[in-house]
Structure 1
């Protein structure tokens, strides 16, 4: 697991596994957001499996699966709402979708150069 901080309260990572959850909890994350649709992954990494591990560690789990075609204003708003209990760790296949969602939430709130610089920290 490679956690990449975009801000002090928002970080992204590629796909996590249940055995990553203790490290996530130790690092102080309160919420884990799944941005990866289950159709992309094997059953043993499904959102339901990850949810069970995350919630058993006392953390909050939110499913907000997105693809390029489903990255809509509603999904962006759902990501923003899920960030209410920070710090947040969001994951997808590589961390890129989770980074892009964050960037889209910042449009109009931050300078473009600042958004791009922060989002670059979330890419491989």
Structure 2
């Protein structure tokens, strides 16, 4: 399991398993954000399975699917809301972590300097330059 820490509030990665959730809870994560749509995974990795695993380990879990190329305002607003309401570090995942990182970055537009968003994403191994013009929040 990769830990691509963007900042103290959020870490992203590719697909995890229900067994990985115990490790996340041990590391202090409080909320699991499932950005990978159920249509992309086997039943053993479906959102309901992952939500149950999170709950069994005392974590909140939110299913916020992002389809390739599908960054809707609802998705961005959903990520913004999760981060605003968090009581501890958030762990978000999709297939590779890219969609989760893009959702985080877009959710921070207008709240955090666009250059800082790009820098934090790059530090976690992600290039948000394709959406750089959207990160200023204007």
Give me the TM-score of the superposition, normalised by structure 2: 0.84
1:111 corresponds in structure 2 to 113
Contact 2:33–2:93 under 8 Å retained in 1: yes
Provide runs of 4+ in structure 1 moved above 6 Å.
none
Q: CA RMSD in A?
A: 1.3
How far residue 109 of structure 1 moved from its aligned partner, in angstroms, is 2.3
Report the secondary structure of 1:120's partner residue: helix
Report the secondary structure of 2:19's partner residue: helix
Which of the pair has the greater relative contact order for Cα pairs under 8 Å at 6+ separation? Answer: 1
* Aligned counterparts, 1:68-87, within 5 A: 68-83=68-83, 84-85=85-86, 86-87=88-89
Distance (Å, rounded) in 2 between the aligned partners of 1:109 and 1:31: 21
| 1:33-73 Cα deviation digits (max 9, x unpaired) | 00000111111111111111111111100000012343111
Specify every segment of 5 or more residues in structure 1 that has no aligned partner in the other structure, as ranges. Answer: none
* Aligned counterparts, 1:1-124, within 5 A: 1-83=1-83, 84-85=85-86, 86-123=88-125
Give me the TM-score of the superposition, normalised by structure 1: 0.93
How far residue 12 of structure 1 moved from its aligned partner, in angstroms, is 0.4
Specify every segment of 5 or more residues in structure 2 that has no aligned partner in the other structure, as ranges. Answer: 127-138
How far residue 32 of structure 1 moved from its aligned partner, in angstroms, is 0.2
Report the secondary structure of 1:66's partner residue: coil
2:130 corresponds in structure 1 to none
